Structure formats: C-alpha cells, structure tokens
Structure 1
C-alpha cells in the first residue's frame, strides 16, 4: 500500500512539473510575424507604387484596429500589403521626394543616409523630411500628412454593413491615385466602383487591356492641357526651375519641362478660411459650396472629393465582407473616371429629373444596391 502511495505521489509531482513547464512555454513571449498580423476578420489593402520614383506610403488610423505599420519605403513598381481590422477607419497617402538620415542627437550633424529597416544607435536620431505628405522626421507616421496630399479614405464597416471609400482632394493634390475593390479575386475587380484620379500628364501613361475595361472617362481636360487645372496661386511652388524634384514647374515657355506639374494646395489649405474649409458658420452644406479650386478639381477628377460637402458624387460603397481586399495604386496612368456622374446621367434636359436620378444613385450606392442592377 505504501509503495502504491509513493508511486502515485511521484506521478502527481511529475504531472505537476510538466504542467508548470507547459504553462511557462505557453506564456513565453513570441516574436510577432508582421506578414500575418494578429487581426481577426481583417481586410487587406495592397499598396502599389506604379510611379517611376520611390515613395513612402503612410497610414493614419482614425478608428478601430490599425495596420502593423504606419509608414514604409516603397520602390518604383513595387507593392506591399497591409492589414486592418473590420472596424478600421482611416486614410492612406504617399509621401514624395523624401530624404531621411541619422544625425547626432545633440548636434544634429548628419551621419549617414537611411532608407528603411534600420536601428537607431545610442546618441543618434532620425532626421529628414518629405516634399509632400510629410509627417515629421519619421518613417512611420503618427500624424496626418501636410497638405497637399491626395488621400485614400476608408470606413471598413459603416452603415448597413457597407465599406465606404473615396479619393479625396480636400487637402490638395500631389499624386494620381486609383482605388480598386476586389470581388472574388484581384483578377475580378469591381470595375464600376473603381475611382481613378489622374491630374498630371508627367505622372501618367495610357491605359491598356483590362485597365481600360468599362472605365467611364472624364474628358473635360485633354491630355495635353491637363496640367493647367490648378489655380496658379494654389501651386505649391512659385518656381521649380533648376531644382531636382519629381514635380517640375508647369511653365509652357520652358522647353526642358514642356508643361509639367507641381503639387496643388486646396483652397482650404491655401486660405484656411471658414468658407473654403467649411468650418465655423459655414460648417454645413447650405452655407458652404464649391470654390474655384474644387470646381476645377471636380472637372479633372470627377470621382474625387473636391470639398467637404462633395459627398454624393464622391463616396463609393461595397458590401463589407470578411477578407475583402482593396488596392490603392499611385500613378495608375490613363485618365480619370467619372463613374457616379455617368450613372446619374448628363444628357437629361430636366434638372428635376437629374436631381431625382442623383438621389436614387446616391441611395443605391449607400445601400450597396448597384450590384442588383448590374452596375458593378
């Protein structure tokens, strides 16, 4: 009996020790794999740099579960995926003409240039900035980018379980952009819910193949004079002659430039007035309308937000589905789309008929009913 009791005690002790070891192993910290971040029911955003120059994409979270990174280096013709939660809302943009370097933390003397994926040694700090979309001396942004920036904005799960998204020029314009929501796969995008904003000839190229399929093109500006849309006082730089930049100054008299581009400040970013920013006593649609900048921006990029209350001609929606993906492409090439205006129709002689059609399309977009009518 005593031998059995001793044996049982030994087994219980062994089981107890094994349990402790197993618990300790389970509690041991693990190195997270950034390729598969721990976000349940996530949504994928594929960020594509189709520009001929590198950019630093940045992501700002305004609500919900944000991505594993808020900024990184992306070479020309490369892409990178980020994942966000089903509850995420935020904005995404590209920083251009960036230069980052390590400097002495006390004297600020430059030590060496850096690009990405580096360790800051003791006694040093990260310094540098970007020409557009800058968020300070940081590769991973904690702040919104300085104007002017072309923005991709998302609310992954909004009203009626819809994902709402748009291209915004409310803060200004610096790069062309396209947002493509994937349906069953990247090879089957929702083509009629794919807004494209192309506002610079120097950053653009002709569309071809499937990219041209079912695009509702905005031809208010010809390819040869598209760079003239920005009001001259809103141009970010008074002159770029002799300065190295991906944004040449649009001077038609300079044969070495041939009508290039410089980023364009929105009216709000330029004047900061209540009228242009739709703030203060002008913080509602009845008291804030389009200005010269927003009217021209809407001409050249029909599907983009041009000012704060440009909602029903700028907001896109698709059903919020687990695993749904989106592609945000910089410098997509081609010409802008004007999808929502095309759905509204522009050939009617009756203003009331246009208004009624507009309200119907807005309602259908918000409720995600367009697939029912074969529109996406």
Structure 2
C-alpha cells in the first residue's frame, strides 16, 4: 500500500487533468477548426456515433477545443435515432445534448416569429434564427459555437494524449440533465471495450422505470429506493422550483403528487448554483488541499460512480484506451440500465492487482505534469 503522502500527490495530479481540460476549453475554443462538411471519413479519423435513446428528440452539440473538429457543431436528432460524426486524431472537445429546444425564423428587425424550423434550412434575407433550449443551450443557434449553459451532462474527449492514449470521461461538473453512456470500440461497434464503458444513470424517469416500492440496484452495491434515486439532487440545486403543469421532459417530483411518476428537473452543480470559490475550486480554493467535495458532488458520485462530480474529483473518473486507427466511440443519451463503478472496482483499494493499478496512477501523474509544462501553467 502506498504512503499517504504519495497517494495525496497522485490524487492532486490526477485531479488536475480535469482542471486543465476546463482551462483548455476556454483558451482553445476561439482557435478550433472545423473541416468542411463534405470531407469524408478517412482511415486516421475517429468515428463518434451519437445515439438518442431517449423518448424525446434532442439537439446534440459539439465544442472543439483543439485539433480538427467535426463537420457539424450541432444538429437535430429524433428519438431512437443516431448520427455519426468524424473528428481528427488530434481532436479534443466535449459533447452534450440540448433538451426541450424550440427554433424558429423571425423578422430580422422586429423579431416577429415567421415559422418554426427543425434543421436543414436556409435563412432568407431579412430573417434571423431565434429560439433556445431548456438545458445545454448555446444561444439561438443549431450550430453551437459556445459551450452549453449549465446544467448539462458532458462527454469529454482527448483523442490522442500522452503515450498515444485516448482519454474520455462523463462529467457532472456543470450539473446533470440526461443519463449518458460512452462506449469505446475498435474497428467496429461489434467490438466494444466493455471494461472501459462508463454509464451514468441518475434519473429513473429518463432511464429504467420503477414503481414506488421497487429497489434500484446499482454497481456501488447499494440499494436505492425509487424516491432516493430521483431525489439525490439537493433540492435547492434543482433548475426549477416546480414543473407542475408545464410541458417538459423533466416533470418535477412533487412530494404530494404521486401522479408525477418520479421525474425531476435538471440539477445544477454546486459551482453553477453558488458560483463561490469553494464550490468552483477557484481563487484561494484552487488546490485540492483547499477544495473538497460538497453536498452535490457527494450525492452525484453516489449515483454515478464513474463520473466527475467537481473539479478536484478523485482519480476514479478518467478512462483511457489506445489511440489507434479504427478506434471509435458511441455516446448514448438515456441508455437505461444502471450506473457503473468500473474504475473503483478495477483500480480501487479492493483491487486484486495492486501493482498494476499503482503503475497506472504513476503514468497518469506524468501525463498531468507534462501537460502543465507544455501549457506553461
């Protein structure tokens, strides 16, 4: 077992991966390139299949922070449909789904609505695109140029990092709105890398339907009742006070209304809710020693063990697979099933292969150190 001081150093280094990614998003967003949509996939590109397994349509969005981005940064995706995008081997960025979106053409000067639109349209002279989304909104645009507003569940990627590894994670640092699964596969979807497939399922309404007395067994070896699962979000962090009577895919779990069925509104992270230095790990709390898990992050980690829950989350949040030709990924919204806790199971204190696990901690630490040197931080 490693000394406590070594363990602390490792945790600090690994947690910095996520902080560096956040900084990278801010610095690189304006310089990212997006190839022409006519460019076909080539052998050294990476395929990302975006699947909408939800019972409602969404607008997936893509933000490129480095390298060659996809031919699109946002589009309409009906329920039970999928769409492939291709990114370069050097790509870093994030994916998310915008929900409850309404877009329409309006008069450019008076803003009077002319007609609703979905996708694949031309904006005539004298008109403009207007509208917004309930979660993940990036302004009145189907093609996003900015990151989505919180709360939103994120899929984050660095396609070719140190040692030619692809790093990816599910992040709840900006909050939660949809369940998500990331599946890496080599050569074809028929060859998934199952041991590197994180799943975050935190809403019974959007994933596996349960009755009020059923137990929900997840991979944390804890049984949650129906009420526990849909009330993990601290009440003050719910995006809306009430959704009763509103048309939304997020009905509110009114304590006195059994007809709601267990849904709830999206959950703001502690940082998004308070914007304080403590919750955001900024200012005098910009180090792991001075920024710890808050109520939101503890509860988020309880229901989604493989997801990032705050900036200095522990090392059990980042996945890696070899970055090679033919490597692809599937990002699925509303996958159903249960959350995974793969990294804790394989790499945690209960692992039967401690030397192999510790070796991984060491090279992951080197990744962070090299990244800090290159970026000049």
TM range (shorter): 0.7 to 0.9
Question: Are residues 321 and 364 of structure 1, via their aligned partners in 2, closer, same or farther at CA, if it must alter by over 3 Å?
Answer: same
Q: Deviations over 1:38-68 (max 9, x none)?
A: 7672101000000000000000011111100
Tell me the CA shift for residue 184 of structure 1.
3.6
The whole-number CA distance in structure 2 between the counterparts of 1:74 and 1:59 is: 13
Select the structure of larger CA radius of gyration: 1
The whole-number CA distance in structure 2 between the counterparts of 1:311 and 1:37 is: 39
The whole-number CA distance in structure 2 between the counterparts of 1:221 and 1:269 is: 29
Aligned match of 1:320? 323
Superposition map of 1:225-374 within 5 A:
225-345=228-348, 359-363=358-362
Residue 345 of structure 1 contacts residue 354 of structure 1 at CA under 8 Å; is this kept in 2?
Answer: no
Aligned match of 2:219? 217
Tell me the CA shift for residue 283 of structure 1.
1.2
Residue 169 of structure 1 contacts residue 306 of structure 1 at CA under 8 Å; is this kept in 2?
Answer: yes
Q: Does 1:144 align with 2:147?
A: yes
Tell me the CA shift for residue 249 of structure 1.
0.5
Question: Are residues 271 and 354 of structure 1, via their aligned partners in 2, closer, same or farther at CA, if it must alter by over 3 Å?
Answer: farther
DSSP 3-state at the match of 2:254: coil
Q: Which moved more, 1:185-194 or 1:54-63?
A: 185-194
Q: Does 1:191 align with 2:194?
A: yes
What is the total number of aligned residue pairs between the two structures?
325
Question: Are residues 111 and 180 of structure 1, via their aligned partners in 2, closer, same or farther at CA, if it must alter by over 3 Å?
Answer: same
Q: Which moved more, 1:263-272 or 1:274-283?
A: 274-283
DSSP 3-state at the match of 2:279: helix
The whole-number CA distance in structure 2 between the counterparts of 1:39 and 1:189 is: 21
Structure 2, unpaired ranges of 5+? 1-34, 210-216, 368-377
DSSP 3-state at the match of 1:265: coil
Q: Deviations over 1:259-311 (max 9, x none)?
A: 21210000000000111111111112121111110000000000000011115
The whole-number CA distance in structure 2 between the counterparts of 1:184 and 1:85 is: 16
Q: What do you get for the CA RMSD once the two structures are aligned? A: 2.5
Residue 160 of structure 1 contacts residue 367 of structure 1 at CA under 8 Å; is this kept in 2?
Answer: no
Aligned match of 1:63? 66
Aligned match of 1:175? 178
The whole-number CA distance in structure 2 between the counterparts of 1:182 and 1:221 is: 31
TM-score (norm 1): 0.81
Q: Deviations over 1:67-87 (max 9, x none)?
A: 000000000000000111111
The whole-number CA distance in structure 2 between the counterparts of 1:124 and 1:183 is: 45
Tell me the CA shift for residue 134 of structure 1.
0.1
The whole-number CA distance in structure 1 between the counterparts of 2:319 and 2:61 is: 22
Q: Which moved more, 1:222-231 or 1:323-332?
A: 222-231
Alignment partner of 1:113 out of 112, 116, 120: 116
The whole-number CA distance in structure 1 between the counterparts of 2:274 and 2:145 is: 25
Question: Are residues 42 and 190 of structure 1, via their aligned partners in 2, closer, same or farther at CA, if it must alter by over 3 Å?
Answer: same
Structure 1, unpaired ranges of 5+? 1-31, 207-214, 369-376
Tell me the CA shift for residue 221 of structure 1.
5.1
Aligned match of 1:17? none
